[in-house]
Amino acid sequence: MSTENNFDAVIIGAGFAGMYALHKIRGLGFKVKAYERASDVGGTWFWNRYPGARCDVNSLEYSYQFSDELQQEWSWSERYSSQPEILSYAKHVSERFDLRKDIQFETKVTQLEYDENAEVWHGQTDRGEEFTSRIMIMATGCLSKSNTPQFEGLNQFEGQLLHTAQWPHTEVDFAGKDVGVIGTGSSAIQLIPIVADQAKTLTVFQRTANFSIPAHNSDMDKKHEARVKANYKEFRAQNSLQRSAIGMVPNPVSALEVSDEEREQTYEERWSVGGLPFAATFNDLGIDRRANSTAVDFVHRKIKDIVKDEQTADTLCPDTVLGCKRLCVDSNYYETFNRSNVFLVDIKQNPIKNITKDGLVTADKDYKFDSLVLATGFDAMTGALADISITGREKQTLASHWSEGPQNYLGLMVSGFPNMFTITGPGSPSVLSNMIVAIEQHVNFITNLLDFMKQTQRKTVETSEKAETEWVQQVNAIAAQTLYTSGCNSWYLGANIPGKPRIFMPHIGFPTYVEKCNEVAAQDYRGFKFS
Ligand code: FAD
Ligand code: N01
């Protein structure tokens, strides 16, 4: 292998995590390269091009803060920006910081093996290339490995088959078509109102009803933007103190301690603001079933007010705890079911038996379509890592180390896998926070640690099994105090993928996590071993 392919650090992925990691690691003077299987930067926003895709965290927050010039010069056009605008932002960042020259696109890393003697990682790509690197940064994404359920007959479908997370780059025209959508998660809920507007008919196949809160998206309020920009640092710092690092004001009051009138009025106020802050209407919605059921009842009433057909409304009412699955945020989702061309099928009652060449068959009926959209989500948090064959010390594979579920320390490092870091992996706040904030915190922690190694002339860092076991116990103990583990079957638990170990993966609470990381760093990186 030529020395051209020997690196100090290799990053896998060029979404927001990989891009920032590349920028920061360059700053350490390292020889660094990123591999990305897509043809451009953006990650999530490169792949998820379905109509209606947009963020559900305010754009003034869902953006980088590491460069004040960047955050001052960029302007978002909407409160929750659309996928094309977020992708333009990612491209702008890559150009502004000249990132592309160190990213190799259309290249998937397929294999990584640790060489204990040389203390380097050997990598292979799907193009047959090889590389070595002392440091590996896994910026592979939590929601980047799409999930295509193994429906019988799927490959026999002769119409147009689409997946929300692998959407074509050219416009998909649904005009005059009969369309089926399988799934009613966040992606489906964003897509359904738009497809319904274009298609001749739209049939939605729902297995589990989801809670959705109106986005009330709007054009960016320029005065608000100017106020935030005048004080951006303070705004960011305040938001980072919130449990999800999102600037939603939590109401420090129990849902059970207020009168019925006050409770109803408070829910109404939050519903009219819209979006994720609804989950923080009262301080016990995530921990107390009785409190949570007041929110459930409120949303059920809203659904029944909006949706005219009684049976459809009943089917749309979730029977799970609110917020246990990620809350969806929509524009006209429930209203769409009042259209005469839209039909809802409850596949919990009548499961899909198989896909046919021109539609699908459920337990009680045949359906025919021109287009079938799979809005069936992701093998979340571990899927993209499991997609790479990774072998660490003593020939142990990551797959065998994680056979009972992911184990790591601070969500950053796995024992037996030296010098390999995961960004926003399981065990970190990641998907339960504003992810760009979580990404920056992780990358800063990792690059500070690498700088510490450089200054103290250490070659390798790894964590111990003890640190890892204690961390996983702590993550689980926090989750066990909430309704996340008992209130539903979510992808946070791996429950959406048949055979995946059922374990709650994210760490709940961004500020407490940051505190812990800072404490670890201040104690010469307690829980990490250096050589
Ligand atoms: P990704 O953006 O997933 O990037 C990972 C990259 O790694 C991908 O481009 C992938 O191609 C590449 N890759 C993976 N494996 C390999 C390999 N073996 N070889 C080469 N390349 C590889 N989060 C929020 O906080 N707020 C939101 O509003 C929000 N909205 C979302 C909307 C949608 C539709 C989805 C799907 C997710 C949303 N998220 C949101 C979560 C989102 O994933 C993160 O906010 C963020 O974009 C993740 O960035 P990342 O760089 O960590 O991962
Ligand atoms: O995926 P999901 P998603 N047969 O897993 C159904 C982020 N995001 O792409 O619930 C039949 O939520 C499945 O049914 P069930 C956000 O973090 C954010 O929508 O398992 N149905 C479910 O209805 C989000 O949480 C935004 O019973 C099957 C759906 O498919 C995450 O990405 C927008 C099935 C999958 O829903 C994932 O969202 C989009 C089967 N075999 C995404 N398998 C924003 O708004 C699965 N389903 C910011």
Are 346 and 391 in a shared domain?
no
In this structure, is residue 399 part of a structural domain? yes
Are 346 and 406 in a shared domain?
no
94 CA → ligand 2 middle, Å: 29
Of 356, 374, 392, which one is at a domain's C-terminal end? 374
Task: Determine which residue's CA is closest to atom 47 belonging to ligand 1.
Answer: 44
In this structure, is residue 61 part of a structural domain? no
In this structure, is residue 298 part of a structural domain? yes
Are 248 and 167 in a shared domain?
yes
Average pLDDT over residues 296-320: 98
Residue 476, burial from CB neighbour count under 10 angstroms (0-12, 13-18, 19+) = middle
From the CB of 375, is ligand 2 less than 6 Å away? yes
* Residue 3 pLDDT: 75
* Residue 4 pLDDT: 85
Going from the C-alpha of 384 to that of each of 106, 140, 380, the distances in angstroms are 16, 6, 8
Task: Determine which residue's CA is closest to atom 34 belonging to ligand 2.
Answer: 376
Are 180 and 198 in a shared domain?
yes
- Tell me how crowded residue 125 is: count the other CB atoms within 10 A of its CB: 18
Of 341, 356, 374, which one is at a domain's C-terminal end? 374
Average pLDDT over residues 488-498: 96
Task: Determine which residue's CA is closest to atom 11 belonging to ligand 2.
Answer: 207
97-154 tens-digit pLDDT = 999 999 999 999 999 999 999 999 999 999 999 999 999 999 999 999 999 999 999 9
In this structure, is residue 140 part of a structural domain? yes
Are 356 and 389 in a shared domain?
no
In this structure, is residue 210 part of a structural domain? yes
Average pLDDT over residues 291-312: 98
366-399 tens-digit pLDDT = 999 999 999 999 999 999 999 999 999 999 999 9
Task: Determine which residue's CA is closest to atom 7 belonging to ligand 2.
Answer: 186
In this structure, is residue 222 part of a structural domain? yes
For residues 408 and 103, what is the distance between their CA atoms, to the nearest angstrom? Answer: 28
Asked if 43 and 35 touch (Cβ cutoff 8 Å), the reply is: no
Q: List for the chain the helix, strand, coil content (%; round to 5).
A: 35, 20, 45
* Residue 250 pLDDT: 87
For the record, the structure tokens of 252 come out as 């420090």
From the CB of 388, is ligand 1 less than 6 Å away? yes
* Residue 199 pLDDT: 98
User: Which residue, among 432, 435, 212, has the nearest Cα to 322 in the 3D structure?
Assistant: 212
Are 331 and 425 in a shared domain?
no
Asked if 350 and 362 touch (Cβ cutoff 8 Å), the reply is: yes
427: which residues sit within 8 A by CB, 6+ positions away? 406, 408, 409, 410, 411, 412, 471, 472, 475, 505, 506, 507
Are 113 and 255 in a shared domain?
no
In this structure, is residue 271 part of a structural domain? yes
Is the torsion defined by CA of 162, 165, 171, 176 positive or negative?
positive
Share of the chain above pLDDT 90, in %: 98
Q: What is the pTM of this model?
A: 0.98
How many domains is the chain partitioned into structurally?
2
16 CA → ligand 2 middle, Å: 21
* Residue 67 pLDDT: 98
Domain with 420 in it:
3-41+99-145+380-530
* Residue 383 pLDDT: 98
Task: Determine which residue's CA is closest to atom 22 belonging to ligand 1.
Answer: 13
CATH code, 415: 3.50.50.60
In this structure, is residue 74 part of a structural domain? no
Is the pLDDT reported for residue 339 higher than 80? yes
List phi, psi (to 5°) of 339.
-75, 145
Residue type for position 303: I
From the CB of 53, is ligand 1 less than 6 Å away? yes
409-419 tens-digit pLDDT = 999 999 999 99
Average pLDDT over residues 513-522: 98
Is the pLDDT reported for residue 520 higher than 70? yes
From the CB of 331, is ligand 2 less than 6 Å away? no
Are 471 and 400 in a shared domain?
yes
Phi-psi region of 416 (alpha: psi -120 to 50; beta: other; left: phi over 0): left
Are 320 and 367 in a shared domain?
yes
* Residue 430 pLDDT: 96
Average pLDDT over residues 64-72: 98
Beta bridge partners, 378, equal: 146
For residues 374 and 30, what is the distance between their CA atoms, to the nearest angstrom? Answer: 42
For residues 314 and 307, what is the distance between their CA atoms, to the nearest angstrom? Answer: 9
Choice from 76, 107, 144 to test ligand 1 binding pocket (greatest atom count within 8 A of CB): 144
Are 165 and 138 in a shared domain?
no
From the CB of 497, is ligand 2 less than 6 Å away? no
Of 346, 374, 402, which one is at a domain's C-terminal end? 374
* Residue 248 pLDDT: 82
Asked if 374 and 234 touch (Cβ cutoff 8 Å), the reply is: no
Are 343 and 479 in a shared domain?
no
219-270 tens-digit pLDDT = 999 999 999 999 999 999 999 999 999 998 889 999 999 999 999 999 999 9
Spacing of C-alpha 528 from chain mean position: 27
Task: Determine which residue's CA is closest to atom 40 belonging to ligand 2.
Answer: 149
Is the pLDDT reported for residue 2 higher than 80? no
From the CB of 123, is ligand 1 less than 6 Å away? no
DSSP state of 175: B
Are 201 and 346 in a shared domain?
yes
Indicate the average pLDDT of the chain: 97
Task: Provide the pLDDT confidence category of residue 1 given band limits of 50, 70 and 90.
Answer: low
